[in-house]
Chain A
């Protein structure tokens, strides 16, 4: 028996005569596990975005407090316009950051 005859003979002997039938149960189990993994992946992604946003807001708030703490009382404006470096402006910035974090769609 030469190599190619031997190969053909082995192929005939090793061919699977009773291959497993398609299994809907098996496929359903895999899809359910994949769906679970997908839900976890999406939850992790949303959580990472939320943590990033809230960290940013926290840093901004701390920064604003630091600026407020260093601000001399006489630097606060007294006219009709709102000075850029004033407690009121800092309050507005904080309010904007709070709105961004609390009202963003990613949080819902």
Chain B
């Protein structure tokens, strides 16, 4: 297994893991943090390299990377202050005439509190189950479900505003 080899300081194995996971990690972090995503992905991958011996094979390696990336993202948000939310990545926004709903929901997503945003991205944008999302975020299942429910209410309100 690549992760086990990488834990033995096999750089080629780590390089293979990076190449297999970097795009999906950057996509996930782009939904969370917009322009900071590549910096966060770099931090997460290097943190993974430093502590790869701690990875337990009971979950996916990609999930573990997301967990590290999410922690870094939340740390940054905490340092930046509670009111500062990421800008919406303009590449993600579809043209207004094509999908007002999509644009509005993506804007609402980027304005969610960081933990709600992470939960919503994992469950809605990435299609993870609640169980998987709870594992990635290191939360009890019930807590994750209530965070997702709060995010759903906010996003639904935004949708209702569009439809009116």
Interface size class of B (residues with CB under 8 A): 35 or more
Q: How far is the CB of B117 from chain A (nearest CB, A)?
A: 11
- Interface residue count for A (Cβ, 8 Å)? 30
Alpha-carbon distance between A37 and B49 when the two chains are bound, in angstroms: 9
Alpha-carbon distance between A22 and B31 when the two chains are bound, in angstroms: 16
Q: Are the C-beta atoms of A10 and B155 separated by less than 8 Å?
A: yes
Cβ of B2 under 8 Å from chain A: no
Contacts of B106 in A (CB 8 A): 13-14
Q: Are the C-beta atoms of A37 and B46 separated by less than 8 Å?
A: yes
Partner of A20, one of B9, B30, B49, B102: B30
Alpha-carbon distance between A11 and B105 when the two chains are bound, in angstroms: 10
Contacts of A24 in B (CB 8 A): 19
Q: Which residue of A lies closest to B19 (CB)?
A: A27
Interface segment, one of B10-18, B56-64, B69-77: B10-18
Count CB-based A-B contacts (< 8 Å).
92
Q: How far is the CB of B46 from chain A (nearest CB, A)?
A: 6
Interface residues in A1-28 by Cβ distance below 8 A to B read 3, 6-7, 9-11, 13-24, 26-27
Contacts of A35 in B (CB 8 A): 11
Contacts of A27 in B (CB 8 A): 15, 18-19, 22
Q: Are the C-beta atoms of A22 and B22 separated by less than 8 Å?
A: yes
Interface of A is mostly: helix
| Cβ contacts A to B, 21 pairs, < 8 Å | A10-B105, A11-B124, A13-B99, A14-B109, A14-B120, A14-B124, A16-B27, A16-B30, A16-B125, A18-B91, A19-B23, A19-B24, A20-B26, A20-B30, A23-B23, A30-B18, A30-B42, A33-B46, A34-B49, A41-B9, A42-B9
Report B's interface with A, CB cutoff 8 A.
Answer: 9, 11, 14-15, 18-19, 22-24, 26-27, 30-31, 38, 41-42, 45-46, 49-50, 91-92, 94, 99, 101-102, 105-106, 109, 120-121, 123-125, 127, 152, 155-156, 159
- Beyond contacts A19-B24, A30-B46, A37-B49: 14 other A-B pairs, Cβ-Cβ < 8 A, are A7-B123, A10-B156, A11-B123, A11-B124, A14-B31, A14-B125, A16-B125, A20-B30, A26-B26, A30-B22, A34-B14, A34-B45, A37-B46, A41-B9
